[in-house]
Amino acid sequence: MCGIIGIASNKSVSSNIINSLKKLEYRGYDSAGLATLKNNVINEKKCSGRVEQLEKILFKTPAEGSLGIGHVRWATHGIPNEINAHPHSTEVVSVVHNGIIENSSDLKRSLENKGKKFKSQTDTEVITLLLAEELKNKKPLEAVQDTLVKLKGSFALGIIFKNFNNIIIGARRGSPLAVGYSKNENYIGSDSYALKSMTNKISYLEDGDVCILTKDSVEFYDSNKKKINKKVLILSEDKNIAQKGDYKNFMSKEIFEQPITAKNCINEYIDKSRDEINFYNFPLNPKTVNKVVLIGCGTAYHSCLVAKYWFEEFTSLSVETDIASEFRYRSIKFSKDCLYLFVSQSGETADTSAALDLCKKNKVKTCSIVNVVESSIARNADWVLPIHAGPEIGVASTKAFLGQMLLLYMLSIKLADLRNEIDKKEYQTKISDLKKLPNLLEKCLKSEEKIQFVAKDFLNSKGSMFLGRGFSFPIALEGALKLKELSYLHAEGYPAGEMKHGPLALIEDGLPVIVVAPNDKYFHKTLSNMQEVIARGGKILLITNNNDSVISENVRFTINLPSIEKSLSPFLSTIPLQLLAYHVALLKKCDIDKPRNLAKSVTVE
């Protein structure tokens, strides 16, 4: 979680570094900095806070040089302040770092015993001081390679050197790093998004790789110090990817884009001429698959939980869901007849990527569902299904979550069809219903005006509870997560049927309780649970498409959703919960696109 940019050029680079850091702020925004090199002098500028603050500093005291590195930070070791901001420099070397050095305490102790002094609380400064020692009798590449051997943990590094004023060295283990190519200019960056404004030609470093950039050349070395070649990829063009347009922020734009992104995703995979879902290069014979394991983190994990219901309903497959950070440390009994599905918005989620690596080592079949087709998880899986949601800038995921669910829904009914476990007519009907979804999502967005009024109830509340059953239980979890992420209010998502087994003790007069109750087989059971809450003073927001069956005098607010095929209800229920979290945060004057303590791409464990 942190962003790196490095530029080797024939002209001043500080302006382009700043522009790239602005694009990387979704990865971290508690401090920022850069270092440029001119006449064998490292010129370091950094600050706490956002990139715009760094830009003001550079306006007063420019950083000149045709070679430079930059960084936006999401704090791990050390509080967010100027001293802990990157780069970390000595007189001879300057380093920016993503990741965590797990043995930094031991290395720091060893360096201190040799008389070395530390300025910061960070693990990164250990790398800088180790490199400074190695550079006393070694050239940069050898010094970097010998330093990396001493490091345990994950990292992506960008490094410049006082006495070698034409090179940047990049290195990767665990955290992503890309290289970009242009005329008289080459780049390193945490991801392709930061590089797209400067080039569409990139390569990716794999674990253990090191690269050396000059303005005219790039060299790559693997973990065995052997010089290697890298494939150059051409990035697809995205138009207006960073424009808010008439929206206040990216999140509101992304919420309201969902009918369009859903339509794009559906059109990408459904053959209109014959109502058929097209998935190519399936890594296993569907009839030999006996089990599906769905793996993700955070919002992506919630999409897995929803999909578990679909796979169980439409197929005879055994289905498991797993949080990636737990999966990778369990004693998993891997199976050749199992398909392991990895869900990630960025495709760089550290725990999900590590879980995928574990599956690859055990030679089982893997599939990734991602929004970034050039990402590590997409490249490493046997099969990739892009969600085609377009760039999502807001840290709290909205349209990517909907896209993840869409892919998982289509995959579940496609597998059912291939395995002859669903009637062909029913399969075609489900596809037909799916094509109606974008228009129904558009109708759901019209609930915003009422949601704005509802949001006021949350301002003086010490917490809230989100309840649902069946498909709606994971949606309740996701609604609670969105409220926590955006407004910093405590929220709990819970299966409605479990209320009397403990959580009912939290209900008190005036507590906001959101009940997600579409017209499905759980509907009347959920209403009974809702009455238990009402009897204890809970203030109900009911989200349903069966309002005619509700005795509403004790329900404070009802959001009426359009009617839809029951298995598609999670898509519609999601919209008002996103709007609720957004408007509560707006009323609290929270930073909508960049919530505190969070970053978009979680590349540390």
* Residues acting as catalytic residues: 2, 600
Which residue is it, tokens 């204890």?
A: 536
Residues in the chain, total:
605
Exposure string of 182-210, with b = 16+ CB inside 10 Å and e = fewer, is eeebbbbbbbbbbbbebbbbbbbbbeebb
Question: Can you tell me the distance from the alpha carbon of 552 to that of 477, in angstroms, rounded to the nearest whole number?
Answer: 24
The secondary structure of residue 248, as a DSSP letter, is S
Question: Can you tell me the distance from the alpha carbon of 49 to that of 85, in angstroms, rounded to the nearest whole number?
Answer: 10
Q: Is 208 left (phi over 0), alpha (psi -120 to 50) or beta?
A: left
Of 51, 123, 132, 57, nearest in space to 89 by CA? 132
Question: CB–CB of 511/539 below 8 Å?
Answer: yes
Of 270, 572, 299, 285, nearest in space to 410 by CA? 270
Sheet of strand 291-296, all strands in order from the earlier edge strand to the far edge:
318-323, 291-296, 338-344, 365-370, 383-386
Element (H, E) at 571: helix 569-587
Of 298, 280, 349, 291, nearest in space to 316 by CA? 291
Question: Can you tell me the distance from the alpha carbon of 176 to that of 204, in angstroms, rounded to the nearest whole number?
Answer: 8
Angle at CA 533, nearest 5°, toward 550 and 478?
A: 85
Question: CB–CB of 438/260 below 8 Å?
Answer: yes
Backbone phi and psi for residue 229, each to the nearest 5 degrees, phi listed first: -105, 155
Helix residue ranges, H only, 257-383: 258-269, 298-314, 324-327, 350-361, 376-380
One-letter identity of residue 578:
Q
Question: Can you tell me the distance from the alpha carbon of 315 to that of 588, in angstroms, rounded to the nearest whole number?
Answer: 45
Of 199, 189, 194, nearest in space to 232 by CA? 199
Token pair in block for residue 361: 């080592």
Sign of CA dihedral 7, 11, 14, 19: negative
Which residue is it, tokens 């802990």?
A: 84
Which residue is it, tokens 């009617």?
A: 563
Q: What does each C-alpha distance from 592 to 58, 349, 487, 566 come to in angstroms?
A: 27, 21, 8, 32
Token pair in block for residue 178: 């890309």
Instruction: Give the strand pairing for 210-213 and 276-277.
Output: unpaired
Instruction: Give the strand pairing for 233-234 and 227-228.
Output: unpaired
SS3 (DSSP) at 43: strand
Question: CB–CB of 513/526 below 8 Å?
Answer: no
